[in-house]
Amino acid sequence: MISKYWLPILIMTILVQTVTAQDAENEQTTTTNQGRLSGNLQLNGNFFMRDSSIGAANTPQYDRQLFGADSWLNLNYQNWGFDMGIRFDMFNNSNLLNPTDSYSALGIGRWYISKKINKLGITAGYIYDIIGSGIIFRAYEERPLAIDQALYGVRLTYDIADNWTIKGFTGRQKKQFDTYGSVLRGAAIDGFFASDSSGVTLAPGFGVVGRTLDDGSMNNLVATLNTYAKSDIFTPKYNTYAFSAYNTLTAGPISWYLEGAYKTADAFVDPFKERITVSGDTIVGRYVQGKGSVLYTSISYAKSGLGLTLEGKRTENFDFRSSPQETAVRGLLHYIPPMTRVNTYRLLARYAAATQFVGEQAFQVDASYAVNKKLNLTANFSNITNLDGDQLYREIFTEIYYKYHRKWTLTTGVQLQQYNQEVYYGKPEAPLLETVTPYFDFLYKFNPKTSIRLESQYMNMSKEHGVRSDYGNWVFGLAEFTLAPHWAVTVSDMFNIDPGKLSPVDASTGKQEKIHYPRFDIYYTHHANRFSVSYVKQVEGIVCSGGICRLEPAFSGVKMSVNSTF
């Protein structure tokens, strides 16, 4: 243990000794070489209260553990031209990594040291970085989805000319408190051109990433392939390379981003391919090997109150991971931009479209127009199909925002969705879900510090053979009272007003139950500290962030959180 953490412990010792020495020195005189120490704390606690009627049961947390917590403490220090930091991570009976299991571990989740020497930049430790929009490489963190894809290694950057930088890195991808065995390396060059006369700017770039599978992953893959039918077997490759070229063009009110990526042959799991087992059973999902490509573009226009954005994307066989054995959000080396809007209201966000690495073609149009200072109109249309043209997702979204002086504001609109259960939920031959969801959000200010906000949505669900699909129709209501700058209280309820085929069944009547899912929250903020306590009863659903999604199980219990920045 000591040998594993000797360097982060050394960093912490330097931080403590430096700050202590500076405090002592500042008592006598003012120094001109003071360092800067900053940090933040995030702590989440869950008290699990079993409720088998909604599916909040049969996991270690509900059956015996009853409590779980996740925490991250960051410390960052700057002095003598160095940037250094350390982060302590803790998971106690956590269901973040696996919604149906429990994970407990703690230790140093990240450390890093960075130094700029003239034109050369040096960074070692756990590194967060990106090439282009992330299509071939993105090392980042997304805590609600249990994603921490830091690169554990070394990165060098060099300013080769004005507005031109080249970088190179190598290492392994983080895996909780360990790393994946595969070795990564990559490089990128980024530049910038500006025309003084025309106002046109260009920001081109090019990147490449290579991954070498470790022997353990290769042996596991070969062993699995040996169980396949002869027609499904292929010769896997140790080394895979991904290339990307990208550019941002800006001309007045117009901005255009374009990126194309290519990946050499690589083994990955196709969740829709069938295979026959030795016993003759058919299993959906098997390893395949193929070359991959992504083409992504985004064009935006903003002028005189009008904003327009058009996005398009085509993806084929671009599942790029540290190990082909990993699925869902684990082991991903890249990030492919989603092609749907980010919905924030509870029912509007219930059905989210996860990025399909095996293949999808999609486009999205977003338009907004400020009629005047009081009235703003927004519309969005997104459409996603597979490469054969089969519908995966479609959304039509409209919104009207009206502000009456400084007294009240009203936001209202309607959302229409088509959602492919077979692809996103893994339900064979299930029909498309079709929803219509009107909503409104009303904010009234009694004075500059006191306000109340009322929010409501109603989701109407399509039917299958005369029965509502999925969980059926929902109604959601919320009231939020704010007393700035310290207090906020919210009360909400999500009611399964017209249950569907998946809604819980009342054992005494044999009919689907109309269940309430209430929530009560209290928030307190003092300076840079925010505390919350919540009673939550939550239905099972999918949670997404930037097109990356995971299943969120039903929850019943109390949640507590502390967020502090210093």
- pLDDT of 430 > 80? The answer is yes
Beta-strand pair 529-538/516-526: antiparallel
Distance, in Å, from the CA atom of 184 to the CA atom of 214, rounded to the nearest integer, reads 11
Cis peptide before 485 (omega within 30 of 0): yes
Q: How confident is the model at residue 1 (pLDDT cuts 50, 70, 90)?
A: very low
Each residue's pLDDT tens digit, 157-175? 999 999 999 999 999 999 9
132-159 average pLDDT score: 94
Tell me what pLDDT residue 552 has.
81
Tell me what pLDDT residue 120 has.
97
- pLDDT of 107 > 50? The answer is yes
Tell me what pLDDT residue 16 has.
55
- Is 136 strand, coil or helix? coil
Tell me what pLDDT residue 548 has.
74
Name the more confident of 503 and 152: 152
Q: How confident is the model at residue 33 (pLDDT cuts 50, 70, 90)?
A: low
Q: How confident is the model at residue 4 (pLDDT cuts 50, 70, 90)?
A: low
* CB-based contact 323:312 (threshold 8 Å): no
- pLDDT of 7 > 70? The answer is no
- The rounded mean pLDDT for the chain is 91
- pLDDT of 402 > 70? The answer is yes
Distance, in Å, from the CA atom of 506 to the CA atom of 344, rounded to the nearest integer, reads 32
Q: How confident is the model at residue 29 (pLDDT cuts 50, 70, 90)?
A: very low
Percentage of the residues of the chain whose pLDDT score is greater than 90: 76
- pLDDT of 464 > 90? The answer is no
Report CA dihedral (259, 262, 266, 268) to the nearest 10 degrees.
30
Residue with tokens 């009207």: 400
Q: How confident is the model at residue 2 (pLDDT cuts 50, 70, 90)?
A: very low
pTM score > 0.85 for this model?
Answer: yes
Each residue's pLDDT tens digit, 515-553? 999 999 999 999 999 999 999 999 988 777 666 777 788
458-485 average pLDDT score: 94
What DSSP line would sit under 441-492, residue for residue? Answer: EEEEEEETTEEEEEEEEEEEEPEETTEESTTEEEEEEEEEEEETTTEEEEEE
81-89 average pLDDT score: 96
- Is 37 strand, coil or helix? strand
Each residue's pLDDT tens digit, 173-208? 999 999 999 999 999 999 999 987 788 999 999 999
* CB-based contact 8:111 (threshold 8 Å): yes
Tell me what pLDDT residue 530 has.
97
Each residue's pLDDT tens digit, 224-243? 999 888 889 999 999 999 99
Q: How confident is the model at residue 30 (pLDDT cuts 50, 70, 90)?
A: very low
Each residue's pLDDT tens digit, 270-328? 988 888 776 667 788 899 999 999 999 999 999 999 999 999 999 999 999 999 999 88
